[in-house]
Amino acid sequence: MATELGVARPATVPAPDDARLGAWRAFLRAHARLLRRLDEELQAEHGLSLAEYDALLQLAHAPERRLRMSVLAERVLLSRSGITRLVDRLEGSGMVARSACVTDARGAEASLTTAGLDRLRAASRTHLDGVERYFIAPVSDDDRAAVERAANGIIDGLGRGAPALDASCLPEGG
């Protein structure tokens, strides 16, 4: 196996009819359908997209409920311009506040407001109910453990990425 950027590469590329690609195709279909369904339910019940829910969740779990915009973009898997548009919408609805970074004038951070936390708490029941119905219930414990091992193997192969050292703009000790 050759390596590129520390990732093992097989010597040959699979043929389009390689039976191993069935797992890849099933994964793509399941992932797309699951995310679409969870997004539809959050939109219908709470007027939140799955990406907005994820951003609120990331902020809720961050120290002081605030993150640099760049770190939030990385955690929500959006580009910097994508996270800016998303935070603009959340800020417009009073769920997030944006401010200049105290320790780095070039940076900005987003913080979760009380209204955002309340909205997240209300939406979490819908989201977790969907996760239960569409992922936990139909997948056996053994298969779920195998999915988790496989996903972690993929993540490890891609590199888990270094944790953001400066996730917030708060001064040291504050």
User: Which residues partner with 98 through β-bridges?
Assistant: 110
Tell me the per-residue pLDDT of 14-64, one tens digit each, with 9 for 90 and over: 898 889 899 999 999 999 999 999 999 999 999 999 999 999 999 999 999
What are the Cα distances from residue 109, in Å, to 21, 44, 72?
A: 41, 29, 9
Give me Rg for the CA atoms of the chain: 19
* Angle of helix 69-76 versus helix 50-61 axis, rounded to 10: 120
pTM confidence score: 0.83
Domain 41-152 has CATH 3.40.50.300: no
Is there a contact between 87 and 81 (Cβ–Cβ < 8 Å)? no
User: What CA–CA distance (Å, rounded) separates 166 from 174?
Assistant: 13
Residue boundaries of the structural domains of the chain: 41-152
Tell me the per-residue pLDDT of 94-153, one tens digit each, with 9 for 90 and over: 999 999 987 777 789 999 999 999 999 999 999 999 999 999 999 999 999 999 999 999
